[in-house]
Every structure is written in C-alpha cells, then in structure tokens.
Amino acid sequence: MMNIPTSNRPRVVIIGGGFGGLALAKKLKNKNFQVVLLDKHNYHTFQPLLYQVATGGLESGSIAYPIRKVVQGFEEIYFRLANVQRIDTVNKKVVADIGTIFYDYVVIATGSKTNFFGNEAIKTNSMAMKTIPQSLNIRSLVLENFESALLTTEDTEQRALMNFVIVGAGPTGVELAGALAEMKKQVLPKDYPDLDLSKMEINVIQGAGKVLDAMSDNSSKKAQEFLEKLGVNVWLNEIVTDYDGKVVTTKSGKTFTAETVIWTAGVMGAVVDGFDSTVIQRGNRIKVNEYNQVEGFTDIFAIGDVATMMTEKTPMGHPMMAQPAIQQGQLLANNLSNLRDGKPLKAFVYNDKGSMATIGRNKAVVDLPKFKFSGFFAWFVWMFVHLMSLIGFRNKLVVFWNWLYNYLMFDRQARLIVRPFKRKTEESFKDHNED
C-alpha cells in the first residue's frame, strides 16, 4: 500500500506533476481536501526549455524542480513516486506499481508523449525530446557524433555524422534547429578547429505548408526567414515515412543520410488504462465536458494535454500547451470544492494569452491576441516569459546567468557527455523514447 493516512476529508488523487497537476495541487491548499499526488519522477520538468538542455545551453537541474519542495508545508498533501497502471472506476481506486489507493475524486494530468504515428522504424531509430533523460541522450549523441567525425576520413560518413534532421517544425523543432545553427556558428568552430564544419547540415522537415503552422502567417514567414538566415534547410510539404538509422526517406522520395534524427512531429495523450474506447478521442486524448469531467463520470477528471474538451469554439480541443493545463487545474480546484459542497460547477473558458517561439539570438516571433511582432523585442519577451514561468528562485537565477553568459561570451557551457548514449538495437529496444 501507499501508506497514506485515513482522513475525514474527501481524497483527491492527482496523477501527474506537470503544469496542470501542480497548478491543481497548489490551488487545493487549505480547501479541506486530502490530496495525494502521484508521478513517475520526483521532479517537475519545464518542458519548453528541454531543447536548451539538448544543445548544451542549460544543465538539466536548472529546468527541473523537486515536486516535494513545491508542496512543502501544505496541510494534508502527500507525494508518492509511482507508475500508475490503471484506474479501477468500479471500485474507485488507482492501481500503481507501489500499490493501490482509494479515491473520492481522481484527476488525470499525465500530459502527453511522443506520437510516432505507428511507425516502429522511426520510433526505434530516431530521438524524441519530451523528458530530461531524452534531452541528455540527444546532447550526448550530438557531441559523440562530432567526436566520431574527427576520427573518420571518409567524406560520406563524416557528413552523415554532422547531418542533423529535425522532423516537425512546431515551436520545439524550430527552437532546436535555431540552437544547433548557433552552435555551428559560435561554439563548434572553437571546440573542433580541425573539423570542416561546412559539411554540417541542419535539415528541418515539415509535413505542413509552413513552419509553426499553429501560429500566424506573418510569424511563420518570419521564423522561416530567421532559420534560413542561420543556414538551416527547411523542407515543407514533406512527410517522413522511414528512418533505418542511416537514411531518412520522405513520401515524395527525398532521402537524407544522417546519424541523428530528432522527432518533434507529433504528440499524443499519455492515457491511463481503465476507460473504454468511446472515451478516448483523436490524438489519444480523454473526452471531457466543460467542467473537465471524463465523459460518463462525475468523480473522474482529466486536465491538460491528456484531455480534449470539444466545444463549438474548440472542435479539436484546446492546444496541447502549458497554459490550458494551468488554467484547467486552477479552475478545477474551485470546482472540486463546489462539487463537495453541492454548489454549481463553473464551465472552463480558455484565456488564450498567445504563443511564441525563439529561433536564436535576437530572433523570435510572438503572437498575442491583439498584435504580433518579431525580432529582438520578441526575443526579449520570450526570455522574460520563460524565465518568470520557471518554478523556484534558484532556477530563475541559474537560467538567467546561463543566458547572460551565453549572450555575452557566444558560448554554451554544458557541452558535457556525462552519460554516453548508446543507440539500442531493435532487439533490445525498450522504448527509449519514453524514458
């Protein structure tokens, strides 16, 4: 068992310590519930900056924050390190690898995971970037490939080691490509003076007709201009169909020989078992009503990336980003109090605060509800928003110092292969993409 004490308060079990789960847990403070928070990691990851860990701009500890520290001093809140296996909706209990726990209310806030669209070859051979371990794997592989490139005189092999293919041109793909391009320009010539870095290629392959296809046409166009100015090759309307570990193939027949392929082309809900297929919607997301209640239940809720709330305004559900998760978590805390007290629930209305992406030094695009802008000011706004969104004063300070150092010195300090990455063979492959 999980050794949670009995209580006369209603028990809320929250599965997941991401943006939504933590927002809910913090808001439930002093609301007369017993709260049990379960997560497979003992830290919260600030996912928007994972690409900076992958490219040596930040150490992983600066974008992670201990969950226990977030909830320190909260009355009747318990954190347990656990892999949740399923929800037994009949007996009202959550089943995990560390035991079972009964609930009065359960909230699924498990976020999303990489979607390879059923392509096992790509899943096995490419790199995903949804977790800190995955980002550290990418960082190690990138640096190991440059070390290997120094040791070969064969031109084709050297080019393959220095060819980086990023599949997907959403914010993650665009930001990663920009960071690699800046490494090529500012850092790698100093680290590898005996390598011909003109052979290094950064290819971004996008299935849609524009980069950042969820943003405005103006921001998309600007972002592509910024990427191309940095020397990134952008391939639009190209769908990757195969990657065997050496060669990337697209639907149109294009091929790219590359040792490093990073997949940022899609995500899907990280659903917990226990629901029939009628509840699971497109994108592997759980169907919820306007109060975030899972369809068919009044005591089970889902928030954030794993939930899809389909309304006239949002027929596809809300975007899989931090803000909807945070806002749903905060409202749900109030609604749980209302539900307990027999008061009417308040429907969720998303307050879209805008979207943004950075493409490198002094280059970013920002879409706000009222206006859109790009360039240096957008880059400054992007940095400020991300800095303020980090949890913990220390993390804010460390990230600010790293960014200041990188900006002034044209350098990235975290170029360390602390845990060498060994690509798994297909036989021994155990989903390295979901570490």
Q: Does residue 129 sit in the same domain as residue 104?
A: no
The pLDDT tens digits for 27-64 are: 999 899 999 999 999 999 999 999 999 999 999 999 99
Do residues 77 and 133 both lie within one domain?
Answer: no
Q: Is residue 431 part of a domain?
A: no
Question: Helices (H) and strands (E) in the chain — how many of each?
Answer: 12, 25
Q: What is the mean pLDDT of residues 99-128?
A: 96
Same structural domain, 252 and 126: yes
Per residue in 416-435, pLDDT (tens digit) is 998 899 765 443 344 444 55
- Going by their DSSP bridges, the two strands 163-167 and 260-263 should be labelled as parallel
Residue 403 lies in a domain: no
42 and 108 fall within a common domain:
yes
Tell whether 103 is covered by a domain: yes
Establish if 390 belongs to a structural domain.
Answer: no
Q: Residues 162, 184: one domain?
A: yes
User: Looking at the chain, how many residues does it have?
Assistant: 435
Contact in structure between 262 and 164 (CB atoms under 8 Å):
yes
Tens of pLDDT, residues 135-183: 999 999 999 999 999 999 999 999 999 999 999 999 999 999 999 999 9
For residue 53, the enclosing domain spans 11-114+268-341
Residues 218 and 194 reside in one and the same domain:
yes
Looking up residue 173, the CATH number of its domain turns out to be 3.50.50.100
**pLDDT for 341 beyond 50:** yes
Q: What is the pLDDT of residue 306?
A: 97
On whether residue 184 sits in a domain, the answer given is yes
372-414 pLDDT per residue, tens: 999 999 999 999 999 999 999 999 999 999 999 999 888 888 8
Identify the pLDDT of residue 422. Answer: 77
SS3 label, residue 98 = coil
DSSP 404-418: HHHHHHT--S----S
In the sheet where 201-205 sits, what is the strand order? 233-235, 201-205, 163-167, 260-263
| Residues 203 and 329 grouped into a single domain | no
Last residue of a domain, one of 341, 361, 393: 341
Chosen domain end from 291, 308, 341: 341
Burial label, 304 (beta-carbon count in 10 A; 0-12, 13-18, 19+) = buried
pLDDT higher than threshold 90 for residue 108 = yes
Pick the range with the lowest mean pLDDT from 279-283, 285-289, 312-316, 348-352: 312-316
**pLDDT at res. 424:** 58
Nearest-CA neighbor of 378 among 354, 398, 399? 354
Indicate whether 427 belongs to any domain.
Answer: no
pLDDT at site 427: 39
Angle at 6 between CA 273 and CA 104, to 5 degrees: 40
Clarify whether residues 252 and 337 are in a common domain.
no
290 assigned to active site? no
Tell me if 352 is assigned to some domain. Answer: no
Nearest CA to 135 out of 147, 143, 127 is that of 127
Identify the CA nearest to 113 among candidates 270, 3, 6, 244: 270
Chain segment 169-226, per-residue pLDDT in tens: 999 999 999 999 999 999 999 999 999 999 999 999 999 999 999 999 999 999 999 9
Q: Are residues 127 and 168 in the same domain?
A: yes
Query: Is 324 domain-assigned?
Result: yes
Annotated catalytic residue, options 175, 182, 201, 259: 175
- Residues 134, 255 within the same domain: yes
- Whether the Cβ atoms of residue 401 and residue 417 lie closer than 8 Å to each other: no
Residue 261's closest CA among 175, 323, 173?
173
Strands 93-96 and 84-88: antiparallel
User: 318: part of which helix (H) or strand (E)?
Assistant: none
pLDDT, position 275 = 94
Q: Which residues of 248-261 are buried (b: 16+ CB within 10 A; e: fewer)?
A: bebeeeeebebbbb
Total domains in the chain come to 2
Q: Are residues 196 and 225 in the same domain?
A: yes
pLDDT value of position 426: 42
Query: Domain holding 23: CATH number?
Result: 3.50.50.60
Do 254 and 128 fall into the same domain? Answer: yes
User: Considering 282, 314, 341, which residue would you say is the last residue of a domain?
Assistant: 341
Lookup: tokens for 364: 């970013």
- Report CA dihedral (28, 31, 36, 40) to the nearest 10 degrees: 10
Q: Give the whole-angstrom CA distance, residue 77 versus residue 2.
A: 13
Please give the Cα distance from 435 to 427 (Å, whole number): 17
What does the mean pLDDT of the chain come to? 94
DSSP 61-73: GGGEEEHHHHTTT
305: pLDDT strictly greater than 70: yes
* Cα–Cα distance for residue pair 411/57, rounded to 1 Å: 8
- Phi, then psi, of 319 in degrees rounded to 5: -60, 145
